[in-house]
Structure 1
């Protein structure tokens, strides 16, 4: 116990008073262990493996979970960081983190209430008071700990991760810090001036944090006093947990459309893991970006997934520009095709006889694309034609400067059977909804317009530019084929796009990721001057999950 500290146990409440600062921890022994004791044990010398008996082995017992979690939470709530750390399997890391809870996060009082154990895991609620510069604010959050058996000692110990301290401490470098914010506050607004907040639009939380980090010092805002998750990485923005005093907000206009954003937020919540992005093809302005779950990782901009047949927009553009197909020309579409030992088949092994290429595109015939790989290679003399088309025309792989971080797509060189997978958006191809929405926007506009959330006039950053536009003939045919996909009776996107009005086109996709019982669902479409793309983890066919999501976002235009 710290020098000068006074300890008392009143009605099961663990209280410590030191230097006039009180900490309290409710230790609900009944809830955790089903026992009848109100006493808080602070002794650990009786634990096996610490010299009092033979080293224990096997899973931790129910009683060990209750005792260790109770002692750890009591020590933490009492401000005894060293003692709490010794009850973990990594005291060297736990000690500084727990000390920082008081010293760096400026927690002046804390009460920790454990809930019923689930096996070796104990959830708990922290109610803390943060005090800085004479201002105090309350903070409440939930976390959990897991008790494991120490490898060398056999003792039951808390399995230490920073997330025990706070669930948003997801990296080893992250810490809790209270003080003046590093950047000025911002008030982000949509393109019509409507205020955007993380409370109203949860997916924008990490987006707004990045915008503040990048533009907070240039919009006239002043710093406030905040409790933040300090990332410890200059490239990763801090996450505000509690505002003790607000700074003056600087105004930052974004390209977001609040209506489209609201629709995107609503629709992604229908699935456990989903992302969507909407872009204005004529300018590249991002109108919506949403993710579920709405975590610090912006999967819509930073994800890396196989996009499935949505990439056939790029493959079709390549074949059209090479003159190897035309929309009205018959294209071979057998039920399956083999390329360098890799057998690719169509959904349900359908085939088309003497059908034009536009029907193969609208029905997403895999083999019609695979059959043209050697013809492309004969013209170009190498295996990187698809990657060049993606970069030179659609801007994939260029360094986009959207205003926040983004992964800008990848179509690496592939040979043999790998090339066959790439032509239909699988294998080593990596994309996210931002990339696919941009590909669709490029197809609609005929030229790549780099996506952006904040105009370049705000900071003078240069936008990425593609080497050349889509050829007029290829562009016209590509758009017509996408329109058939969204409107023809045989189009894979017709049912999904039925509710969408205006000039519309689409492409469905599904990607069979390794180990998944159900394929990932992809869908991309345009309607007038708005393009959108969505991904739904294990959502099945493109029109089943991602399709309705995209349709509702387009309907919000």
Structure 2
């Protein structure tokens, strides 16, 4: 949350004047009237609104909005109270006036429109322009054609609970720089737009700058100002957090300099690597310190999946599961281990990719080929909480990481029956993201957990998370051998080809209900670098996310 500022809440937009080209040219109406049948009973229309009804509802709504009459405008919506509150707050509390609304060409029941308004705060004024759209629906109870009220009608980036604010910015601007002092801007690194906004919120008042006057979106729940977030509250138990966003600067503040752990050159490589995918996310970090060197998402302006995603990690989870099995003596390098075509447990029937099996095989063969049933067969020997404890106590999963920006530190809930078995192969209730899976690879590489971070903890005296214990020397050695075998001869070999030195990798494919193709995962290390990537609906992790990770490990080497 931006802290310590003066502002006026804008729950919506109140318009003042419309030009002749807009809906100001139309006379205001008393509001849509209900029809009446010949017998005196109300006539309720059904079906989608026709073109005439869409035009009439849009005309009335925009005309009332443009004239500065929120109550009248709200009559043309399906939520009068919310619409009136939002539109009234815009005019009286947001210092926005002289609004012109120009509708565009109708697309079915959707009408886009352009907004041009004046913002005035103290002696500061500015013209603000943007575009939005509205949808006209039929109200089921009355049959009227009305505007489907959503916060996005006011501005396309407003969501439920968000508000617009104008005033002295609550956080001074920052000049973010990488570990070498190179400036990091949204223009040069568009994939960092959300990260930079979060850094300003959290460190703007610590970097030495002075605030200006701005119009911004304050996101819902900012008062909580929590670090751990996830869009999947059922899995993570935490609420999604998005940074505030500046929409218009009326007077510039003076930025303070904030040093991050990022590397501008590697950040550029990360953004280039994921640009080949419509949806993808990647994180690169230093294994021995936890310093985050690069973080990128595609699309650049989309959700920060790299740091805040909450996704089933598929077979990359087998790294943690293997550590637990080795610790308990249930698996080990060179030991015989079953990998049948099928393995039933808890009423579910599990199988391997293309139903392969390894007869009389060893555990390393099962790991390198990513055999699911090799793990499912061990579920009956495990208590419900053992995987949760291993993930938390050794790999730091779920320890409320303090990275310096909003992040989700994974979830491995205690489960029983079939979901317990599914968790062993990264399904069930397990949730991760590239940040957590890069950390898992780093823990294997170094033998102990080092909490990832983007800003040095010395800046704000925050305490980094600490795991209860390191990997045992024997378990760490076996895991490194397993991941190296996978990187050189197993499912990760194609992606890691040509990479020398101390390497290790694990692939993953996570099934998701409703998707034709699974999410592709890949986590790996090379020397002191650890990385992980996910490509939603990418299919096999080795061919989708693998090349992304390999490019960064190659560039960093």
TM-score normalised by length of structure 1 = 0.88
Give the 3-state SS of the residue equivalent to 1:146 in structure 2: strand
Matched-pair contact (CA < 8 Å) for 2:18–2:101: no
Work out whether 1:466 is the aligned partner of 2:452: no
Residue equivalent to 1:480:
481
Cα offset, 1:160, TM superposition: 0.5
Q: Work out the CA distance in 2 between the residues paired with 1:122 and 1:543.
A: 44
Question: Could you list the runs of 5+ residues in structure 1 that have no partner in the other structure?
Answer: 1-17, 29-37
- Cα pair 2:18 2:63 within 8 Å, conserved: no
1:491-512 per-residue CA deviation (whole Å, 9 max, x = no partner) reads 1111122254543221111111
Contact 1:390 1:396 in 2 (8 A): yes
- Give the alignment partner of residue 195 of structure 1, picking from 167, 183, 193: 183
Aligned residues: 521
Q: Which residue of 2 aligns with 1:15?
A: none
Cα distance in 2 between the residues matched to 1:144 and 1:555: 45
Deviation at 1:159, TM superposition (A): 0.5
C-alpha distance in 1 between matches for 2:302 and 2:98: 28
* Aligned match of 2:61: 72
Aligned equivalents of 1:522, 1:503: Cα separation in 2: 21
Q: What corresponds to 2:236 in structure 1?
A: none
TM alignment of 1:228-267, pairs within 5 A: 228-231=216-219, 233-234=222-223, 235=225, 237-267=243-273
Q: Output the CA distance in 1 between the equivalents of 2:91 and 2:182.
A: 39
User: Once the 2 structures are TM-superposed, how far is the Cα of residue 22 of structure 1 from its aligned partner?
Assistant: 5.1
Match of 1:102 among 91, 97, 102: 91
Q: In the alignment, which residue of structure 1 is the partner of 2:237? A: none
* Cα distance in 2 for residues equivalent to 1:75 and 1:271: 44
Q: Does 1:43 align with 2:32?
A: no
Deviations 1:107-134 (A, max 9, x none): 2333323222222111222233323233
- Given candidates 189, 199, 208, the residue that maps to 1:211 is 199
Match of 2:516 in 1: 517
Residue 286 of structure 1 pairs with residue 297 of structure 2: no
Is residue 19–residue 25 contact of structure 2 (8 Å, CA) maintained in 1? no
1:100 and 1:73 map into 2 onto residues whose CA distance is 16
What is the CA-CA distance between 1:323 and the residue it aligns to? 2.5
Distance between the aligned counterparts of 2:116 and 2:142, measured in 1? 33
1:546 corresponding residue in structure 2: 545
| Correspondent of 1:337 among 326, 334, 343 | 343
Alpha-carbon deviations, 1:452-487, whole Å to 9, x = none?
A: 111111011111111111111211121122122122
User: CA shift at 1:337, angstroms?
Assistant: 1.3
State the distance in 1 between where 2:31 and 2:415 align. Answer: 61
> Is the contact between residue 176 and residue 227 of structure 1 (CA under 8 Å) also seen in structure 2?
yes
SS in 2 for 1:24: coil
**CA offsets per residue over residues 57-96 of structure 1, 9 Å max, x none?**
3221111112221332233233333322221111211122
Partner SS for 2:306:
helix
Structure 1 range deviating more: 38-47 or 181-190: 38-47
Cα distance in 2 between the residues matched to 1:533 and 1:462: 25
After TM superposition, give the deviation of residue 45 of structure 1 in Å: 5.7
CA distance in 2, matches of 1:296, 1:184: 24
Output the aligned Cα RMSD.
2.3
Any conservation in 2 of the 1:25–1:74 contact (CA below 8 Å)?
Answer: no
Separation (CA, whole Å) in 2 of partners of 1:413 and 1:266: 38
SS at structure 2 position matched to 1:323:
coil
The equivalent of 1:362 in structure 2 is 368
> Which sits farther off after the overlay, 327-336 or 460-469?
327-336
Tell me how far apart the structure 1 counterparts of residues 36 and 67 of structure 2 sit (CA, whole Å).
24
User: How is 1:435-446 mapped onto 2 (pairs within 5 angstroms)?
Assistant: 435-446=436-447
Among 113, 123, 144, which residue is 2:112 paired with? 123
Deviation string, structure 1 residues 272-327 (Cα, Å, up to 9, x no partner): 33222222111001112222334574222222211100000001111222222222
**Larger RCO (CA within 8 A; separation ≥ 6):** 2
Q: Distance in 1 between matches of 2:390 and 2:21?
A: 63
Secondary structure in structure 1 of the residue aligned to 2:534: strand
Deviations 1:168-204 (A, max 9, x none): 11122x2211110112221111111111122332332
Query: Structure 2 stretches of 5 or more lacking a match?
Result: 1-14, 226-240
**In structure 1, distance between residues paired with 2:519 and 2:342:** 21
The DSSP-based 3-state class of the residue aligned with 2:423 is helix
